[in-house]
Structure 1
């Protein structure tokens, strides 16, 4: 028996524990969402560099090898992302990009290899400048 609430059964206590667990989980998810929302207000509006990087998966082979062909789907995504050079740079400098093996000096050449006329030529991204 519960000494504080003598009429509570073991089942009642388990149900109360379960509710506390779900409330704690909800608070953690909410906190994570708010935190990610704060990040989304940075270089990449409405998103994060890591989420934007997922859109550039078609560019992976071109970001690893300067001689690899750049696919049309890669160029389409780079064209969209290149309208915000700060976001494009944040994506290329992200820890996820680094851990995936992306070579920044090669990735920086993709907008030029896609023949994007209005690319941010001369934009400094880390130690590199977009050609």
Structure 2
């Protein structure tokens, strides 16, 4: 009986360990609860600014970029996401949005795929 209890405890411990490790590995650039494609929808107010470097950047766009930009790897993943590509986002223009919003704490020099945040 004691051997069965030890085996059961070992099995439970192993399952907990694996699920914990699996949870960490499954967390993407934007965390466990969302994906870059889901976050890209939040940047809908940035559509024209992400296609044309001369377009004005709205306050609602800047607010979303500021929020997502707190995690630079998430921001980059969003700007390079399939959703952004399908929306016609030009990544080379999109990476300029944090600077165009005059965000003080923007991740200057952060490598975003083949692009660098100015």
TM-score where L is the length of structure 1: 0.69
Distance 1:104 1:85 in 2: 14
Q: How many correspondences in the alignment?
A: 95
Query: Is the contact made by 1:40 and 1:47 (CA closer than 8 Å) also made in structure 2?
Result: no
Distance 1:65 1:38 in 2: 37
Structure 2 gaps of 5+ residues are 1-22
Q: CA RMSD in A?
A: 1.7
More off after superposition, 88-97 vs 66-75 = 88-97
**Stretches of 4+ moved more than 2 A in 1?**
37-40
Distance 2:26 2:56 in 1: 31
Note the alpha carbon deviations across 1:75-95, whole angstroms, 9 max, x for none: 000000000001001111111
Query: Is the contact made by 1:58 and 1:71 (CA closer than 8 Å) also made in structure 2?
Result: yes
Once the two structures are superposed, the pairs formed by residues 66-77 of structure 1 within 5 Å of their partners are: 66-77=53-64
Distance 1:40 1:121 in 2: 28
Higher relative contact order (CA 8 A, sep 6+): 2
Distance 1:93 1:71, change over 3 A: same
Asked whether 1:53 is paired with 2:55, we answer no
Structure 1 gaps of 5+ residues are 1-36
Aligned to 1:43: 29
TM-score where L is the length of structure 2: 0.76
